[in-house]
Amino acid sequence: MGNETAWQEAAINGRFGGKTIIVTGAGSGIGQATALRVAKEGGRVIAADISKERLDALVEENGGLDLVPVAGDISTEETVAAVVVAAGGRVDALANIAGIMDNFAPIHEVDDAMWERVFRINVTALMRLTRAVVPLMLEAGTGSVVNVASEAGLRGSAAGASYTASKHAVVGLTKNSAVMYGPKGLRFNAVAPGPTITNIEAVWGSQLAAERLGPLMQATVPTPATAAQLAASITFLLSDDGTNVNGAILASDGGWSAL
């Protein structure tokens, strides 16, 4: 898993030179910042998102970068297959970042549609894409997967029941895969963001969040991070810089979860 030569090459070519990296949720926020950071460091990025408009804008605004857009709902086998085809038989790293928030409902107010939608996108999609990519990584004997969980995957009071349970599932999947595939040269880690300025972040500051989470929670919410700060945490684990890290859940929240 990595050696001095790889690090020296990275210093010359960028950490992702010659590598193919899949990034989901690449149309906005943390996914977009990660896709750009990887591409600027020399990587070929398979940029997946449900929004074709966002991907078109991303590619148009970043003409010099190697961004391959794949538009579609990543929870469907059809889009998963399209992403793998676009990668062309080789995936060095995968960043599962696409995700949605719930409506802060505690369990007695959860409706089935919300629960199923949150789990389909936050958990099932991540499982399906990882399931499709792991055989390629096993064949190569190397690979790094980074799943974006949440501060709500570490404790119980930052979101509604659906989102909190879904992000705890992401943490569990990450740890299980780290144990299962670590001996075969693959690494699985998660990044758990706190509030971050993205399209999702508008939900955090909403009246609904204030009502649901209560004054104590609101008083302790830290200054939101930028998506670029989260991209820095994610690319550390995606790259050979994280070569000795497997099964870690990296809180990237300015210390919020340490409270």
Catalytic-residue membership of 181: no
If we measure between CA atoms, which residue out of 188, 192, 52, 70 comes closest to residue 127? Answer: 188
Judged by DSSP in three states, 226 sits in strand
Judged by DSSP in three states, 183 sits in helix
How far apart are alpha carbons 68 and 126 in whole angstroms?
19
Determine which one of 16, 104, 115, 163 is catalytic: 163
What are the phi and psi torsion angles at 50 (to 5°)? -75, -20
| Whole-number Cα distances in Å, 212 to 39, 157, 216, 246 | 39, 10, 11, 35
**Burial track 157-188 (b if 16+ CB lie within 10 A, e otherwise):** ebbbbbbbbbbbbbbebbbebbeebeeeebbb
* 3-state SS record for 55-113: HHHHHHHCCCCCEEEEECCCCCHHHHHHHHHHHCCCCCEEEECCCCCCCCCCHHHCCHH
How far apart are alpha carbons 34 and 21 in whole angstroms?
10
| Whole-number Cα distances in Å, 7 to 39, 141, 186 | 18, 18, 18
Please, which residue, 69 or 242, has the CB nearer to ligand NAD? Answer: 69
Binding stretches for ligand NAD (CB under 6 A) = 24-25, 27-31, 49-51, 54, 73-75, 97-100, 121, 125, 148, 150-151, 193, 195-196, 198-201, 204
How far apart are alpha carbons 217 and 213 in whole angstroms?
6
CB of 253 to ligand NAD, least distance (A): 8
C-beta separation of 105 from 161 below 8 A? yes
CB of 147 to ligand NAD, least distance (A): 9
Q: Which residues carry out catalysis?
A: 163
